[in-house]
């Protein structure tokens, strides 16, 4: 069986994946012996530095294989249960050991305007806790996510973080007796 190793080329803020075939017989446990190219190392460094990245490539170029390495790296550098792996569909999410983006975000079907989604999420303690713990969010198959929903999720994350920051500030003032 052959695996495709990836060479990642940075292009205007995107990372594109090209083919380079590896024979798995010479490397039976390829996940533990993954030799990253300089471009792949650059991608990992950008992610570790907190940058948002977009990985593209043709079918069969092992984007998911590289993504699993990215997730493993994120889980090593962040606290337990703070890296969330999501996808647009349940099948894609299961392949990565994650959940749907809708489930992570707590937005149900994702219908409604920005304010309605924020209010919907605030009713779910589990969803709010996920957002609070999140240090990294990985979204596979992002092209399948509706642009309006993605904009709403960006608004939701910003709004929730601001509300949580204000709540912490209020609690601190109460604790200090102000």
- The stretch 112-116 carries a mean pLDDT of 89
Please report which helix (H) or strand (E) contains residue 37, including its range: none
pLDDT of residue 143: 86
Q: Are residues 117 and 155 in the same domain?
A: yes
Q: Are residues 102 and 178 in the same domain?
A: yes
Does pLDDT of 20 surpass 80? no
Q: Are residues 21 and 63 in the same domain?
A: yes
Does pLDDT of 162 surpass 80? yes
Question: DSSP secondary structure string, 61-123?
Answer: S-HHHHHHHHHHHHHHHS-TT-EEEEESSHHHHHHTT-EEHHHHHT-TT--S-HHHHHHHHHT
Q: Are residues 119 and 169 in the same domain?
A: yes
Q: Scan for tokens 């994702």, then name that residue.
A: 110
Confidence grade of residue 107 (pLDDT, cut at 50, 70, 90): very high
Q: Are residues 67 and 85 in the same domain?
A: no
Residue where a domain stops, chosen among 77, 104, 128: 77
Residue 148's domain spans which residues? 80-178
Q: Are residues 84 and 125 in the same domain?
A: yes
| Cα 55 from Cα 66, distance rounded (Å) | 9
Does pLDDT of 4 surpass 60? no
pLDDT of residue 59: 81
Domain tally for the chain? Answer: 2
Q: Could you give the percent of the chain with pLDDT greater than 70? A: 74
- The stretch 125-154 carries a mean pLDDT of 90
pLDDT of residue 82: 94
Q: Could you give the percent of the chain with pLDDT greater than 90? A: 35
pLDDT in tens, 27-83: 333 334 467 778 888 888 999 998 888 888 888 777 877 888 899 999 999 999 999
pLDDT in tens, 142-157: 888 888 888 999 999 9
Q: Are residues 64 and 106 in the same domain?
A: no
DSSP 142: G
């Amino acid at each position: 069986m052959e695996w495709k190793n990836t060479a990642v080329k940075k292009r205007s803020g995107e990372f594109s994946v090209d083919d380079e075939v590896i024979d798995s017989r010479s490397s039976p446990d390829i996940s533990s012996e993954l030799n990253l190219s300089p471009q792949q190392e650059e991608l990992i460094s950008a992610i570790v530095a907190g940058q948002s990245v977009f990985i593209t490539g043709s079918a069969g170029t092992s984007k998911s294989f590289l993504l699993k390495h990215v997730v493993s790296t994120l889980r090593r550098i962040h606290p337990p249960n703070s890296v969330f792996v999501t996808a647009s569909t349940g099948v894609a999410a299961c392949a990565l050991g994650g959940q749907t983006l809708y489930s992570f975000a707590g937005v149900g079907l994702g219908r409604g305007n920005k304010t309605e989604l924020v209010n919907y999420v605030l009713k779910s303690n589990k969803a709010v806790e996920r957002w609070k713990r999140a240090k990294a969010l990985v979204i596979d198959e992002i092209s399948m996510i509706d642009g309006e929903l993605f904009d709403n999720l960006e608004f939701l994350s910003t709004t929730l973080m601001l509300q949580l920051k204000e709540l912490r500030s209020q609690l601190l003032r109460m604790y200090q007796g102000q």
